[in-house]
Amino acid sequence: IVPNGKIYQGGQISLRVTVRDALNQAMDEELERDERVFLLGEEVAQYDGAYKVSRGLWKKYGDKRIIDTPISEMGFAGIAVGAAMAGLRPICEFMTFNFSMQAIDQVINSAAKTYYMSAGLQPVPIVFRGPNGASAGVAAQHSQCFAAWYAHCPGLKVVSPWNSEDAKGLLKAAIRDNNPVVFLENELMYGVPFEMSEECQSKDFTIPIGKAKVERQGNHVTLVSHSRFVGHCLDAAVVLAKEGIECEVINMRTIRPMDVEAIEASVMKTNHLVTVEGGWPQFGVGAEICARIMEGPAFNYLDAPVTRVTGVDIPMPYAKILEDNSLPQIKDIIFSVKKTLNI
């Protein structure tokens, strides 16, 4: 928690909390609330987590509940899925979701499909969490976004928080959920502080999975995004507002099940839609939103084609200037909004 970060708003005490600390609070509260919950992964215990998200938990809960694993994702993801089948509620941390490809068989075939294949007899209450998408300067093998990969698979819930409130409320909801949840964090967001209201600081605070949030009201164009790029959309909206263009910004929060109704309601109001994501364009989150809008009642309200702002369709380059040009920037969002509004 950022020191001296108390902000008083209408009698409510709001704190400035980083995304890292919000995730830590969520896990701490759920470990305390339910003794079936435990955390396992590389470096999560003695080292306090590769990104310090599990700081202090090993000292508080000990070796039985906070477990350091060898560098073998397929092995420890399999152990976690088995533990979930046996009645525990594991949180399985991947040091990055790029490494979850080692364990994708466990996530998809063992976790996601078992409840259906057992005719509802065998739930698998597990959370797979860790940083997803591009960080900075880690090149192609460590920079991809897995939102579309995992959201493609029935049986999984896929969550992608942006700010501290999202991180805490959604992680608590994910741990309490009886289904496997893929929880996609963003490494570049961990150290960013956000205001958290008194309500969010409560131990009972959760955010329902499957509901989007309108972060900014507007009536000219709808911007839909998830994770880090929600912030980019809000920054672009501030710039565009100075030119008289009012953007409505929707933070998806959950990729699967997707809150299509929230997007449709906004499109029916603004008549224009731009999707923004850090992943690749082909078969991406934006592509799915386009298809759902085409097939649903909001299509007749569109005054222009939907525009997608995405990462570039290449493996991520290492050089910083190339990396910057491979990810959506605020200027790209502004350009796409103006193109959509024909300005």
Residues classed as catalytic: 73, 142
Instruction: Please give the distance of CA 45 from its chain centroid, rounded to a whole number.
Output: 23
How many CA atoms are closer than 13 Å to the CA of 147, on its beta-carbon side? 36
CA distance 28 to 222: 36
- Label residue 190 exposed, middle or buried (CB < 10 Å: 0-12, 13-18, 19+): buried
What whole-number distance in Å separates Cα of residue 167 and Cα of residue 19? Answer: 6
Token code pair at residue 325: 């040009």
Q: Parallel, antiparallel, or unpaired: how do β-strands 127-131 and 66-68 relate?
A: unpaired
Residue from 169, 192, 166 nearest 26 by CA: 169
